[in-house]
Amino acid sequence: MHSNKKTPKTISGSISFNIIVWTTSILFILFFIVPILRLLLYDSPRYLLSQFLSPVNLEGIKITLLAATVSTVIVVIFGFPLAYILARYQFIGKKMIDAIVELPIMIPHTVVGIALLLVFAKSEPAGPLLSRFGLSFGYSMLAIVMAYMFVSGTYAIKTMEEAIKSVHPRIELVARTLGASQWQVVRMIIIPQISRSILTGGILSWGRAMSEVAAIMIVAPYVIPTYHQIAGIEVYNQFVSTGMKGAVGLSAVLIIISLIILIVLKVIQYQKIFYMPGVER
């Protein structure tokens, strides 16, 4: 239902303040948008379409989207308990755990790739374990998903942590005095109340995963046995082999796809459907 109420006008500030604030903001927006527009308008739409439909590019986009989506689902589901612990419990070493969660943002992502290889490659500690399940790490989709999880998990966990903190612990206490178990409280109250933040964290993680290239160059520059590559590496290859024109096509396609998905998710995020009741009737 739309409200007829108008947003009241705020009291106007000083002119110099407004000029500086607006000019700086506009410059920043231009800084973001001009290179993207330049890239999108570099060639004709027909050329972009042909690039999109090229089997190699299509496969690269598919791998990237699939791995980013799978890694996002995993970090949201498995990150929730960690976010809950960080939001609700006080314990020795909490600050250390908090720092570890934020560490992946700081590490150069080529280093992330090397670190993951040092744990999961065939000859490394966790390699035999993966082999026992018929999995291998290097040059696999598994490696891409895990690298994405490593570089993007922080965003989902931190967003959910802040959201859980915003639900007062007394709400949980009251729910429990009414007879709800901790599981029921999480399922019926916490998750519905922070659903938007879960989606926001997911979007941030997904976006971060989509943009990752460096770590993937180390762990899975291509996927065996298809020899397909994630879109980001494909762009680099095309830039190196055919120059600007080759790279621009796939880059533009990637931007358009990311933009469409981001807009769709943002629209869903602000819909009432995310205002779920605690229990279905």
Q: Which stretch binds other proteins (CB under 8 A): 97-105, 142-150, 187-195, 247-255?
A: 187-195
| Helix or strand (DSSP H, E) at 278 | none
Q: Which stretch binds other proteins (CB under 8 A): 102-110, 199-207, 248-256, 273-281?
A: 273-281
| Beta carbons of 122 and 136 less than 8 angstroms apart | yes
Does position 272 interact with other proteins (CB under 8 A)? The reply is: no
Give, as ranges, the residues between 112 and 171 that touch other proteins (CB under 8 A).
168-171
Give the pair of three-digit tokens for residue 226. 């298809």
State how far the alpha carbon of 203 is from the alpha carbons of 52, 66, 262, 280, in Å: 23, 14, 7, 26
Closest approach of other proteins to the CB of residue 191, in Å: 9
DSSP 96-124: HHHHHHHHHHHS-HHHHHHHHHHHHSTTS
| Beta carbons of 132 and 213 less than 8 angstroms apart | no
184, 211, 258, 269: residue in contact with other proteins (rule CB under 8 A): 184
Residue 139: closest CA among 157, 113, 176, 164 = 113
Q: Which stretch binds other proteins (CB under 8 A): 6-14, 114-122, 185-193, 229-237?
A: 185-193
How many residues in total does the chain contain?
A: 281
Give the pair of three-digit tokens for residue 44. 């004709």
Give the pair of three-digit tokens for residue 32. 């973001």
Binding mask 227-256 for other proteins (x = CB under 8 A): ------------------------------
Does position 33 interact with other proteins (CB under 8 A)? The reply is: no
- Phi/psi of residue 39, nearest 5 degrees: -70, -45
What is d(CA 235, CA 224) in angstroms, rounded to the nearest whole number?
19
Does position 181 interact with other proteins (CB under 8 A)? The reply is: yes
Q: Which stretch binds other proteins (CB under 8 A): 8-16, 59-67, 178-186, 242-250?
A: 178-186
179, 241, 267, 273: residue in contact with other proteins (rule CB under 8 A): 179
Closest to other proteins by CB, 225 vs 280, is: 280
Kindly give, in sequence order, each residue whose CB lies less than 8 Å from that of residue 182, ignoring residues fewer than 6 positions away. 172, 176
Closest to other proteins by CB, 186 vs 247, is: 186
56, 69, 85, 192: residue in contact with other proteins (rule CB under 8 A): 192
Does position 9 interact with other proteins (CB under 8 A)? The reply is: no
What is the contact surface with other proteins in residues (CB under 8 A)? 168-171, 173-181, 184, 188-189, 192-193, 275-279, 281
